[in-house]
Amino acid sequence: MRLRLTFSKFGTLRYIGHLDLHNLWERIVRRAGLPLSYTQGFHPGPRIQLASALPLGFIGSAEIVDLWINDSADSLDRPYKEMLQSAAPPGLVISSVEIVDERGPALQTKVVSAEYEITLLESGSSSGLASSVSNLLAAASLPRVRRDKTYDLRPLVESLGYYPGVGSRFPCLHMRLAAREGATGRPEEVLDALGVPIETTRIERTRLILQNT
């Protein structure tokens, strides 16, 4: 049985890496008393797939993980969400659990885009930002260098908006970036292109968009 969970990750869990998060889910399933499925071969591993790695320090409010468990069809009415949530540490909240096709494609291959909300925590960082956003969207290309290789950031920015703060609310940026294999936009690189220091922001990934969803 393949369970697909949507969950949020915040607080101190913002600072655990992708591999540690994978290991954390293995412990959660064990604590919940569910029979986790393992791969075959000389080095069996837990059948767990995280949709997309989240950089250290980023909040994830709609992350996705697939878990394979050795439950039968007779167990469909088990309260999986409650069982797993009770075994989860503070800072990890499960919002939904659904049963999906066991033979479907790998979760990582289904991610096409990701949405982010970037809160600007210092007033000076938003000065002239509306104009910078307009200029970025109007640009035909945005040559950048990543790992000593030149690439074009512009086609990876699917949407970008600036929203001034109102009252006690900080100003923020909303962006949707491509997240396909070999074509992934990174919010920190968009911020750099806009001239916004990343240390003056709080970054939250608010949605992962899958094929056919």
Q: What is the pLDDT of residue 41?
A: 78
- Residues of the chain above pLDDT 70, percent: 95
| pLDDT higher than threshold 90 for residue 213 | no
Contacts of 114 (CB under 8 A, 6+ apart): 52, 176, 177, 179, 185, 205, 207, 208, 209
Instruction: Kindly state the average pLDDT of the residues 167-189.
Output: 91
| pLDDT higher than threshold 90 for residue 39 | no
pTM: 0.92
Instruction: Kindly state the average pLDDT of the residues 115-144.
Output: 90
Highest mean pLDDT of the ranges 26-35, 42-51, 125-134: 26-35
- Cα atoms in the 13 Å half-sphere on the side-chain side of 32: 23
What SS3 string covers the chain?
CEEEEEEEECHHHHHCCHHHHHHHHHHHHHHCCCCECECCCCCCCECEEECCCCCCCCEEEEEEEEEEECCCHHHCCCCHHHHHHHHCCCCEEEEEEEEECCCCCCHHHHEEEEEEEEEECCHHHHCCHHHHHHHHHHCCCCEEEECCEEEECHHHEEEEEEECCCCCCCCEEEEEEEEECCEECCHHHHHHHHCCCHHHEEEEEEEEEECCC
Identify the band that residue 117 occupies on the pLDDT scale cut at 50, 70 and 90: very high
Domains of the chain: 2-104 (3.30.70.580), 109-210 (3.30.70)
| pLDDT higher than threshold 70 for residue 73 | no
| pLDDT higher than threshold 80 for residue 75 | no
Q: Could you tell me which residue, 50 or 212, shows the higher pLDDT? A: 50
| pLDDT higher than threshold 70 for residue 64 | yes
Q: What is the pLDDT of residue 16?
A: 95
Averaged pLDDT score across all residues of the chain: 92
| pLDDT higher than threshold 70 for residue 160 | yes
Identify the band that residue 125 occupies on the pLDDT scale cut at 50, 70 and 90: low
| pLDDT higher than threshold 70 for residue 173 | yes
